[in-house]
Amino acid sequence: MEIDCLIMGAFQTNCYVLRKSGAARDCLIIDAGLGAGQLIDFLRERKLNPVAVVLTHGHIDHISAVTTLRTRYQNIRVYIHKLDAEMIASPLHNLSALAGRLFRIKPADLLVEDKSIIEQAGIKLKVLHTPGHTPGGICLYMEDEGIVFTNDTLFADSVGRTDFPGGGMDELIKSIREKLLTLPEETKVYPGHGQITTIAREKAHNLFLQ
């Protein structure tokens, strides 16, 4: 399993590029935020073929490179949770209007829900629906690898913002407790922003979860 992390744009969004092995050319992308050129350069330099991009939620800093990806890689498939599906076409709800730009992308190719399985590029991800940051926020669990990608739900020593439309702190904490803290404690946490952590560390040290 190969995981590369690109830190993209002014919001320093973690964009993850996953491959089954170091020799694999097909890859799966988790979130594609501001700074499409950086991502395209990375893929081109390594001669990678992105077959899918999974959007953990619909905010602009996680979706804005999708249009460029679709233009360059016309067979790429885009996934998002059904409750965030309309957000990506709404500058108000994807928060681009707050940044002074009206940004929208075309609908996703595939809509997921809780417990959906995504299998692309030899990689298998289990969808964990974790509302609270957005209604359709998802985390992506790889049980065999002991890894979970937690988008803007859970960070090292923190949790996602809940003051945007559709957010709610009680719902977010409930999602974390029921969907993430129940995973094995050694599970590595790859968040949407910031550094890698573990479930055990967040149980012990994250003040929002005490």
One-character DSSP codes across the chain: -EEEEEEETTTTEEEEEEESSTT--EEEEE---S-HHHHHHHHHHTT-EEEEEE-SS--HHHHTTHHHHHHH-TT-EEEEEGGGTTGGG-TTTTSTGGGT-----PPPSEEE-TT-EEEETTEEEEEEE-TTSSTT-EEEEETTTTEEEEETTEETTEE----STT--HHHHHHHIIIIITTS-TT-EEEESSS--EEHHHHHHH-GGG-
Q: pLDDT tens-digit profile of 159-192?
A: 999 999 899 999 999 999 999 999 999 999 999 9
Q: pLDDT tens-digit profile of 96-108?
A: 877 667 788 899 9
What predicted TM-score, i.e. pTM, was given to this entire model?
0.96
Does the CA dihedral 32-37-42-44 come out positive or negative? Answer: positive
Residue 155 has pLDDT above 90, yes or no: yes
Rounded to whole angstroms, the Cα distance separating 56 from 4 reads 17
Number of domains comprising the chain: 1
CATH number (domain holding residue 14): 3.60.15.10
Residue 9: per-residue pLDDT: 86
Q: Domain of residue 48: give its range.
A: 2-209
